[in-house]
Amino acid sequence: MALGIGCSSRPGKAGNNKTGSWRVFKPIFDHDKCTKCGMCKTICPEGCIEESEDDFFIPDETYCKGCGICAEECPSDAITMEQEEK
């Protein structure tokens, strides 16, 4: 893989590691209850919740580890955790 001067690694290469495979529970976002406050995006330790074009929030399942912080902290209870079948 390409490295920088002094064998330093390129910035932001952690994305190669698809941490979504760690997940047991998957967050399900209910857009009817969502008030678009953006709390989930602010507090996600993975930084994997993106804002879609219509201002709703969507988790990136490639990286979501299923920790459930978003579901716990959502002020309008719009996120539920469901066990995932793989």
Partner 1 sequence: MAENSCELFDSGHRACGGCGAALVSRLLLKATGKDVIIVSATGCMEVFSTPYPETAWKVPWIHSLFENNSAVASGIEAALKKQGRKEKVVAIGGDGSTFDIGMLCLSGAFERGHDFTYICYDNEAYMNTGIQRSGATPYDASTTTSPAGKCSKGNNRPKKDLPQILAAHGAPYVATASIAYPSDVVKKIEKALNTPGPCYVQIHAPCCTGWGFEGEKTLAIGKLAIETGLWVNFEMENGVVTRVKKVVRKPVESYLKEQKRFRHLFKPKINAEEIAKIQAIADKNAEKYGTDLKLKSKSGPVVP
Q: Residue numbers of the site for partner 1 (CB under 8 A)?
A: 1, 3, 7, 9-19, 22-23, 42-48, 60, 62-63, 65-69, 71-73, 81
d(CA 20, CA 17) in angstroms, rounded, equals 9
The nearer residue to partner 1, 34 or 41, going by C-beta atoms, is 41
Least distance in Å: CB of 71 to partner 1?
A: 6
Distance from the Cα of residue 78 to its chain's centroid: 15
Q: Which residue has the tokens 């406050």?
A: 37
d(CA 59, CA 27) in angstroms, rounded, equals 8
The nearer residue to partner 1, 2 or 32, going by C-beta atoms, is 2
